[in-house]
Structure 1
Amino acid sequence: MTERTTVDITDAALADAARPLLDKLVSDRVASALTAQTATLWGEEAESEASIRLAWTTLHKSSRPLIGEIEALRTELRSEGVDRIVLAGMGGSSLAPEVITGTEGVPLTVLDTTDAGQVADALAGDLERTALVVSSKSGTTVETDSHRRIFAEAFAKAGIDAARRMIVVTDPGSPLAELAESEGYRKVFLADPHVGGRYSALTAFGLVPAGLAGADVARLLDQAAGVAETLSSDSPDNPALRLAAALAAAHDAGAEKVVLADTGSGIAGFGDWAEQLIAESTGKQGTGLLPVVVESPTAPGFADAGPDATAVAVGPSVAGSAVSTTGSLGALFLLWEYAVAVAGRLLGINPFDQPDVEAAKKAARALLDNPHALSGTEEPTAVIGPVEVYGPVGDAGTGTLTDVLREFVDGVAEGGYLAVQAYLDRLDDASATVLRSELARRSGRQTTFGWGPRFLHSTGQYHKGGHRNGSFLQITGAVEEDIAVPGRPYTLSTLQLAQALGDGQVLADTGRPVLRLHLTDRAAGLADVVRAVQELTR
């Protein structure tokens, strides 16, 4: 039996506010126009970009030929004893495959980090059984190129033909496509160039790594196909139109944050995928929707969302949720893509560009080109045990770490948000994630958590282009064993620090408060930071 795909607006006031927006979307025939890939839906300024970004509406049909190609390659690899898939990709190139494989319970090692420890863990796997999927739409993603270089060297040192273990997913004509051809890589999958990264879950970017890992990607396309006609209908029962109207109505009333909690959907990590879709699509021109992914519906920030946020259940409606969305994974991919694109129309922005993402990349590149700027010449404003403090701390700099954090948290704007940005090892430093709930509970502010540089490819756009009411807590850490990037004049730790400092610089230059805590001893420093946060009182 096909699982029903629904959007239920359980908050009566929100339902009333959304109704006129929904009626207008229906009367303007927005859903059918979107399916027909009408580029004028977002206004004249967005038309040029939209005209080359709408092929995702029919991917449940156009991606079908990939199924056979993926299965044939998987069979080939397994016949050679290669059954471990490592994915090197950032943002849209990694988030969907991670959700797909996590939901189906098949193993996929995802590298969306510049942390040397996490990359070393991936290298420590059985290389004899390993194939690397190098996934980049532009073909120039610095993190992904670094992973490719590191693995190519590791394969060669192990006596393995690196080219036979390299599988590429990229756009036609990209530098990566040209490199793959010249190097004779095992297989190149060219994705549809008329689909942006955050809408690419059902393209080769989502399907190839997930399918090679063993996920049933044909079923995923079937799930999307099963809801496609409903999402194309100009009807008030269209769940995508209902969700778009609810999000826009909430935003109009001052709830510019969307708190996402899984309530029993059976989908692993859907919020992390939706986070990029929402933040990059809407967070620009000083407006937008900030996604806040929480641990559960009982976590701080969901049932007590407050007037500046809308609690959205991924799964059945629960106490505290204002909206709930249910359905299979393939259906929800397509539903949310439709809803966010339509919400962009209601917010008056172009959902397909990301004008502020490049700023942090440029700043990081400038720092990489100037090693002196990364050589430790910046003096900390305070050193408290294994934690170096960087940023304006006032009188708190002579006190405890709790004093420093209290001053920082007290400075968060009314109705603003806290963003914790951890440039650490997502596996070995996983305890850092507790900071989100602890800070949310003690500050009373909506709080997000992102692993750096992963979040730069998702919420990074909103941080710089969305509502100007965020405060940013960066956490960096000392690296015990670094990894050189072959053919490049830097190591992973240098790149990681450049990304943190570059993004922090851009945020500070635009008037956003930034506090960086550097852990000279990661384990001890992280324990001290968590303890200091727990000592805060509201």
Structure 2
Amino acid sequence: MRLSLDRSRALPFLTDRDALDGAVLDAHGKVLTGGTRSPEMLGWRQMLLEPDDALIESVQNVASEIRERADVLVCVGIGGSYLGAEAVNQALAPYFGADSPEVIFAGHHLSPAYHEQLLAYLEGKSVYVNVISKSGTTLEPAMAFRFLRRFLEERFDDADRRVIATTDKSSGVLRGLADEKGYRTYVVPDDVGGRFSVLTPVGLLPIAAAGHDIRSLFYGAVGAARGLTDAGADHPALAYAGDRFAFHEAGYSVELMSVMEAKLRGLGYWWQQLYGESEGKEGKGLFPVTLQYTTDLHSVGQYVQEGKRLFVESFLRLDDEKAGLTLDEEPDNPDQLNDLAGTPYGAANKAAWEGTAEAHREGDVPSWTWTLPRIDADALGEAIYTFEHAVAVSGTMLGVDPFNQPGVEAYKKKMFRLLGRD
């Protein structure tokens, strides 16, 4: 396994942690064999054990058409319908000057200005739309898609060709509209929840359209899934799950995902949804929050260091200490940096991680460190599956159903009532 986990700053805060290994392996076994509370929702694992290469090829072919014909692909969806794709695209794209087509996300909030300005921005461009919704009735993407559908129909003779719907295989408002209009479609699998869907067409099409290698991404996850089949309690995914449960039972209430490389910030936000929706129910679960260091050390860093002791922390970093621009020595040392001559950005970032982790340990904040050897599709696929499997195990240990999200419906009911849609 290339993704590594350092537990040395977490274990000293736990008493008799090894006694939990049996419970960890029991929960792990339930994930493997369908003994969880919703065994019908384990498709996110099964699809990796039985890869569908024809589906991957189909997605690649549609993505190739989009790349040839479109200036912009607008992906319409909320929650798991966009966070995974956004995370992978952000991690794999250059910071500046990404290749065409530009992949833009919409329908993931209700900002009037954003969607109005989006339509203005699209004017004069060749546009494709990938609308992602199992039901088609979630308000945020449904509203955005109505405006985008009208935009396409008023400007392109082949408007219906430019829409790809990723939705239920046989029912729902969006499925009905897709059948009526003749949209090309991909299926949101019945046995894969939205937050686990990045390795289905939900995530694969936007990632492939951005020019990234979805086969390597998928098979990076395949390797991680197979590697966990006969894993022991010391496997990083299982050790992390067990540690998280132990901290939860010890009274900790918040887990920080502290990202040391800005390209991985989106992966942190994807993790935030994955863990929040999977564990946050029945009055249980660690509250997941993503921070970007060192930026957020200059905002909430004071609180993390000396505030109320709520936190356990996961650092997510890249093994790149020799990377980046290197400081040269300058005559007269005008900025007082000559003592760092020869230091690359990567070395400074590593020192920031080590210094922060040690300072937080001394401030009674336990932490793990996840280290990626590199940022590429294969490594991201491994990381995605590792975090998915870990939360399935930790949620099972908590006694909740890791695969439902009944609380998400509460705000929708109130919102619809206020809009007169009772």
TM-score range, shorter-chain basis? 0.7 to 0.9
Partner SS, residue 128 of structure 2: strand
TM-score by length of 2: 0.78
Q: Which one of the candidate residues 111, 115, 121 is aligned to 1:115?
A: 111
Contact kept? 2:241, 2:390, Cα under 8 Å? yes
Residues 59 and 8 (structure 1), Cα distance of their counterparts in 2 relative to 1, 3 Å cut: farther
% identical equivalent positions: 29
Contact kept? 1:5, 1:331, Cα under 8 Å? yes
Confirm whether residue 102 of structure 1 aligns to residue 90 of structure 2: yes
Residues 324 and 16 (structure 1), Cα distance of their counterparts in 2 relative to 1, 3 Å cut: farther
Query: How big is the shift at 1:125?
Result: 2.1
2-structure distance, mates of 1:226, 1:305: 41
Partner of 1:322: 367
Q: Which one of the candidate residues 140, 149, 154 is aligned to 1:152?
A: 149
Tell me whether 239-248 or 317-326 shows the greater mean CA deviation: 317-326
2-structure distance, mates of 1:194, 1:127: 40
2-structure distance, mates of 1:181, 1:310: 48
Query: How big is the shift at 1:305?
Result: 7.1
Partner of 2:269: 272
2-structure distance, mates of 1:302, 1:140: 40
Q: Which one of the candidate residues 54, 60, 65 is aligned to 1:71?
A: 60
CA-to-partner distance for each residue in 1:381-403, whole Å, 9 max, x for gaps?
xxxxxxxxxxxxxxxxxxxxxxx
Partner of 1:364: 415
Partner of 1:245: 242
Residues 103 and 364 (structure 1), Cα distance of their counterparts in 2 relative to 1, 3 Å cut: same
User: Which stretches of structure 1, 4 residues or more, deviate above 4 A after TM superposition?
Assistant: 301-306
CA-to-partner distance for each residue in 1:182-233, whole Å, 9 max, x for gaps?
1111x10012210111111111111112112222111111211222233223
Query: In the alignment, residue 209 of structure 2 is paired with which amino acid?
Result: L
1-structure distance, mates of 2:46, 2:236: 17
Confirm whether residue 338 of structure 1 aligns to residue 334 of structure 2: no
CA-to-partner distance for each residue in 1:96-147, whole Å, 9 max, x for gaps?
0100111111542011122121112321225541101000123322111111
Q: Flag structure 1 segments of 5+ consecutive residues without an equivalent.
A: 372-538
Query: In the alignment, residue 76 of structure 1 is paired with which amino acid?
Result: E
Query: How big is the shift at 1:32?
Result: 4.4
Tell me whether 294-303 or 257-266 shows the greater mean CA deviation: 294-303
CA-to-partner distance for each residue in 1:454-502, whole Å, 9 max, x for gaps?
xxxxxxxxxxxxxxxxxxxxxxxxxxxxxxxxxxxxxxxxxxxxxxxxx
TM-score by length of 1: 0.62
CA-to-partner distance for each residue in 1:211-266, whole Å, 9 max, x for gaps?
12222111111211222233223402211111111111111111121111112485
Query: How big is the shift at 1:24?
Result: 3.0
Query: In the alignment, residue 117 of structure 1 is paired with which amino acid?
Result: A
Alignment root-mean-square deviation, CA:
2.3
Confirm whether residue 225 of structure 1 aligns to residue 212 of structure 2: no
Residues 174 and 208 (structure 1), Cα distance of their counterparts in 2 relative to 1, 3 Å cut: farther
2-structure distance, mates of 1:64, 1:290: 37
Partner SS, residue 217 of structure 2: helix
Query: In the alignment, residue 67 of structure 1 is paired with which amino acid?
Result: I
Q: Flag structure 2 segments of 5+ consecutive residues without an equivalent.
A: 319-352, 361-365, 373-378
Residues 51 and 227 (structure 1), Cα distance of their counterparts in 2 relative to 1, 3 Å cut: closer
Size of the aligned set, in residue pairs, is: 356
Partner of 1:59: 47
CA-to-partner distance for each residue in 1:498-531, whole Å, 9 max, x for gaps?
xxxxxxxxxxxxxxxxxxxxxxxxxxxxxxxxxx
1-structure distance, mates of 2:118, 2:61: 25
1-structure distance, mates of 2:5, 2:186: 35
Partner of 1:91: 79
